[in-house]
Amino acid sequence: MVHQTINTSNTKAPNASSNSKLMKKLLRTLCVGWIVGTLAACSSPPIQPPVVEPLPAPVSAPLPVSAPEDIGPLPAEILQAKSRWTPVRWAELPGFEEDALHEAWNAWIKSCERPGPVFATLCGDVRRLSIGEASAQRQWMRTRLQPYRVDPIDGAATEGLLTAYFEPLLEATRTPRPGYQVPLYQPPLNLGQRKPWYTRQEMDTLPAAQQALRGREIVYLADPVDALVLQIQGSGRIRVTEDDGSQRLVRLAYAGTNDQPYKSVGRWLLDQGAIRDATWPGIKAWIAQNPQRLGEMLWSNPRMVFFKEEKLSDLDMAFGPRGAQGVPLTPGRSIAVDPASIPYGTPVWLASSSPTVVLQKLVLAQDTGSAIRGAVRADYFAGWGPQAGEMAGRLKQSLRMWVFWPKQLR
All domains of the chain in start order, with CATH: 74-164+321-409 (2.40.40.10), 167-318 (2.40.240.50)
CB-CB contact of 151 with 157 (8 Å): yes
- Kindly report whether the peptide bond that precedes residue 87 is cis, defined as omega within 30 degrees of 0: no
Neighbours of 21 (CB within 10 A): 10
**Nearest by Cα to 350 from 339, 334, 366, 338:** 334
Check: CB of residue 319 under 8 Å from CB of residue 113: no
- Exposure b/e, 22-51, CB count within 10 A at least 16 = b: eeeeeeeeeeeeeeeeeeeeeeeeeeeeee
- Between CA 365 and CA 373 the distance in angstroms is 13
Q: What is the mean pLDDT of each run of 10 residues along the chain (410 residues)?
A: 34 39 40 33 34 35 47 91 96 96 96 96 97 94 97 86 95 97 97 94 97 98 94 94 96 95 94 88 91 96 97 91 95 98 98 93 95 96 92 92 84
- Report the relative pairing of strands 169-173 and 236-241 from DSSP bridges: parallel
Nearest to 142 by CA among 69, 218, 42: 69
pLDDT for the residue 70: 66
* Strand arrangement of the beta sheet that strand 169-173 belongs to: 182-185, 217-221, 169-173, 236-241, 247-257, 305-311
Q: Name the residue type at position 77.
A: E
CB-based contact 180:403 (threshold 8 Å) = no
DSSP 3-state of 202: helix
In total, the chain counts a number of residues equal to 410
- The residue type found at 157 is A
With contact defined as beta carbons under 8 Å apart, do 247 and 241 qualify?
yes
Distance from C-alpha of 338 to C-alpha of 226, rounded to nearest angstrom = 26
What kind and span of H or E run contains 172? strand 169-173
d(CA 387, CA 391): 6
Secondary structure of 335-381 in HEC code, one letter for each residue:
EECCCCCCCCCCEEEEEEECCCCEEEEEEEEEECCCCCCCCCEEEEE
Task: Look at residues 313, 344, 352, 338 and name the one whose alpha carbon lies nearest to residue 326.
Answer: 344
Q: What gap in Å lies between CA 312 and CA 259, rounded to an integer? A: 28
Which of 342, 407, 391 is closest to 111 using CA atoms?
A: 342
CB count in 10 Å sphere of residue 149: 20
* Count of CA atoms in the C-beta half-sphere (13 A) of 407: 15
> What is the rounded distance in angstroms from the CA atom of residue 40 to the CA atom of residue 279?
89
Distance (Å, whole) CA 357 – CA 388: 13
DSSP-derived secondary structure letter, 152:
E
Query: Cα angle at 379 between 375 and 380, to 5 degrees?
Result: 130
Which amino acid belongs to residue 228? L
